[in-house]
Amino acid sequence: MLSQKYQAMLNKKSAIMELSALAHARAQEIGEENVFDFSLGNPSVPAPKAYNARIIELLQQADINHVHSYSPDMGVLEAREKIAASLNRRFGMQYDAGDIVITAGAAGALAYAIRLVTSPGDEVLTFAPFFPEYAPYTELAGRRLCVVPARCADFQIDFDALERVMNARVQAVIVNTPCNPSGVVYAEETLSHLAEFLTAKEREYGHEIWLISDEPYREILFDGQKQPYVSAFYARTLSCYSFSKSLSVPGDRVGYLAVNPACGQSKLLARMAVQVSRGIGHDSTAGIVQRAAADCCDVTADFSVYARNMNLLYDELVKLGFEVVRPGGTFYMFPRAMERDAAAFCTKAARYDLILVPGDTFGVPGYFRIAYCTTEDKVRRSLEKWRELVKKEY
């Protein structure tokens, strides 16, 4: 018999994928250059030359069987050593290779993390607005996702709301900073306060609470902002990283799980991740990609176009009367819609060929997401469309 669970999911379409399909269909009619598709978070800048050069070099120099052979179960040792050294150097951590497991992006790391520190029936807490895939990541693993409502003034954590949602069934908390979709960077103060809160709740409930830090946008920062390293605030932290955005290589599927050794169980957890991998058939990513990414873990793609796009859109939207929290990083922005029903707003925007995602998808009705990982020219040409939309519809 076919799985009822997965069959039922087919009826729950992804709003983002549907919008992207709409943009695609419209592009067939009027040309891709005339559709302002702000729906998908697909990086639009090239990978650094150093990464591509390293892949070619590895292919040309290394023993071909070695390059294409199965990767060790936790990932290539030298790659894990380089990642640990980079994190220690940049964030003052104490990782060694035994604390790092290479994964297929942040998605793979999250699949491990959720299973490692929670059991079926447990609750996993996160904060709105949140990356919508947290729902399937947790629910298909038999866990329940519970969501703390957003603090819309700045999209930092609303600690009063957290106190109301927190309960003894919560075994893990997911944070995502810089955040998809708000672009907001959690301040040091927010992270210290969260660490104190979790420590107090561990004492109150008499069990551990793990922090899962989802950080694929860690390096994409604007206006000289710094992203405090989440794990440095709380020992029981599992950091889930992806090179998809920092190196602009989402299709290469490479990232890692880094377990803070200060938790006292990092080696155990890293080895347990390999057992999770056996259960879900995940396995490590291609060795050649692991090596190239680890060699480039201190470099990034050129993100300057994301900053220019952010400024162009932010300034225009504010001028047009939108309420919008200025993003500190990522390539997303999360303004308030000009009417209560964000889906209705996005439908109207689509008439002007602006393809936007309603905030309901991210747990915050009444808002919408703009993914501005596109060319500056396209963003500039979209400004007239934004002006028309507001003038004619609102």
Ligand X SMILES: Cc1ncc(COP(=O)(O)O)c(C=O)c1O
Residues that bind ligand X (CB under 6 A): 41, 105-107, 131, 176, 180, 214, 216, 242, 244, 250, 255
Q: Compare residues 201 and 290 and give the one whose CB is closer to ligand X.
A: 290
Report the residue closest to ligand X, judged by CB: 105
In the chain, DSSP assigns E strands to 36-37, 100-103, 123-127, 144-148, 170-176, 210-214, 237-242, 255-259, 332-333, 354-355, 357-358, 368-371
Best CA proximity match to 44, nearest among 222, 299, 245: 245
Q: In the bound complex, what is the minimum distance in angstroms from residue 392's beta carbon to ligand X?
A: 33
Q: In the bound complex, what is the minimum distance in angstroms from residue 131's beta carbon to ligand X?
A: 4
Q: Compare residues 305 and 390 and give the one whose CB is closer to ligand X.
A: 305
Which token pair is 172? Answer: 């893990």
Q: Compare residues 176 and 300 and give the one whose CB is closer to ligand X.
A: 176
**Gap between the Cα atoms of 377 and 251, Å rounded:** 25
Residue 275: CB atoms within 10 Å: 12
Q: What are residue 156's phi and psi, to 5 degrees? A: -80, 180
Q: In the bound complex, what is the minimum distance in angstroms from residue 183's beta carbon to ligand X?
A: 11
Q: Compare residues 71 and 103 and give the one whose CB is closer to ligand X.
A: 103
Calculate the CA 371 to chain-centre distance.
13
Q: Compare residues 255 and 328 and give the one whose CB is closer to ligand X.
A: 255
Q: Compare residues 227 and 316 and give the one whose CB is closer to ligand X.
A: 227
Q: In the bound complex, what is the minimum distance in angstroms from residue 229's beta carbon to ligand X?
A: 17
Q: Compare residues 243 and 386 and give the one whose CB is closer to ligand X.
A: 243
Q: In the bound complex, what is the minimum distance in angstroms from residue 313's beta carbon to ligand X?
A: 19
**Gap between the Cα atoms of 251 and 268, Å rounded:** 30
Calculate the CA 270 to chain-centre distance.
21
Q: In the bound complex, what is the minimum distance in angstroms from residue 240's beta carbon to ligand X?
A: 7
Q: In the bound complex, what is the minimum distance in angstroms from residue 48's beta carbon to ligand X?
A: 16
Q: Compare residues 293 and 346 and give the one whose CB is closer to ligand X.
A: 293
Alpha helices, DSSP H, located in 159-265:
159-165, 188-205, 243-246
Q: In the bound complex, what is the minimum distance in angstroms from residue 36's beta carbon to ligand X?
A: 20
Best CA proximity match to 251, nearest among 84, 55, 67: 55
